[in-house]
Amino acid sequence: MVPSLKPLPPIESGASLRIIAPANFVAERDVVPGIRFLRSQGFSISTCPNLFEQEGQFAGSDKTRAQSLMDAFADPEVDAILCARGGYGTPRILDLIDWDLIAANPKPFVGFSDITAVLTALVLKCGMPAFHGPMVRDIGENVNDKTHRGLLEALRGTHSDWPLLWEDVKVLREGKVRGPLIGGNLTVLAAIAGSSMALQADGAILLLEDVGEYIYRMDRALVQLSRSGALHGVKGVIVSDVVDVEDGNVPFGIGVREMILSHFPDVPVIAGFPAGHGPIKATLPLGVAVTLDADKDSPSLTLAT
């Protein structure tokens, strides 16, 4: 069973945020606007030494990126950790991380996409809630206010619910369930299946998002997760933004939402929740119990009480 974790204490105005780069390299111009925004909200900002390093497509070596993540958790002057960007590279560093050190130093951690590998380990290996939310590259200029507001409210502990008012949200199967939220990027979840950091969703509400994939590859990922036992006991599914999905030369036969629905025949499912690679990036607490009410007329997602 996925544990239901208590939210971490909120951080105060003036708190110190550490920006880390555990995956792809990032250009300075891509994160400066986001750092400027965070400072405008009263936060103190520090950055990992490898933030602008480049080794191939990564922000430094695997060892360097793993050490920067551990240093951020171990530093008593750091109140919360935000990832600069995703891309690819986080699964490569999982075996280099001292998870006991991290479990002994809990603090808010925010990321999504490739960072799903760390988010899953924090919840299931460290017993620590983590935020599936926008990264520093996503909170700069010309950002939807809902993205900014959701991140700030989550960090400050005032984000108690997420009304599903966005017109793209659709109830695919009705029902009401309660359980800890878990999940993230489908491709990454499939990539870590079978490892000591693998997804386990028993008793949980599963969040899924992805970008730039073919429908058949997403289906294959769900088949792999199902056969690994990772999807046993899922109570409900939130299909978040699934962006730039393509069909193959030979059509799969059904759309991506229908394909996902076919893998979860007996639980409530909603689609189009604005978290992930879409224009609005909600900040959601993984590991924390939520209530999903997939009511066709008034769906809602709230922190469970």
Short-list 84, 141, 93, 142, CA closest to 113: 84
Point out the catalytic residue in the list 68, 113, 228, 240: 113
Point out the catalytic residue in the list 209, 228, 240, 263: 209
Ordered by start, the domain boundaries in the chain are: 16-156, 161-303
Amino acid at the residue 120: T
Q: In CATH, what number does 161-303 get?
A: 3.50.30.60
Q: Active-site residue 16, yes or no?
A: no
Q: Active-site residue 46, yes or no?
A: no
Residue 138 near residue 263 (C-beta atoms within 8 A): no
pLDDT at site 161: 65
Rounded to 10 degrees, what is the CA torsion of 64, 103, 274, 39? -60
pLDDT at site 168: 80
pLDDT at site 92: 97
Residue 1 neighbours by CB under 8 Å, 6+ apart: 202, 203, 233
Q: Active-site residue 132, yes or no?
A: no
Long-range contacts of 143-147 (CB under 8 A, 24+ apart): 143/37, 144/279, 144/280, 144/281, 146/274, 146/280, 146/282, 147/280, 147/281, 147/282
Alpha-carbon distance of 116 to 274, in angstroms, equals 16
Alpha-carbon distance of 116 to 111, in angstroms, equals 7
Amino acid at the residue 103: A
Query: With a cut of 50, which residues of the chain have pLDDT below it?
Result: none
pLDDT at site 162: 72
Residue 131 near residue 109 (C-beta atoms within 8 A): yes
Residue 107 near residue 79 (C-beta atoms within 8 A): yes
Half-sphere exposure of 56 (CA within 13 A, CB side): 7
Alpha-carbon distance of 176 to 292, in angstroms, equals 6
Point out the catalytic residue in the list 132, 148, 263, 277: 277
pLDDT at site 174: 98
CATH 3.40.50.10740 applies to domain 16-156 = yes
Alpha-carbon distance of 250 to 299, in angstroms, equals 35
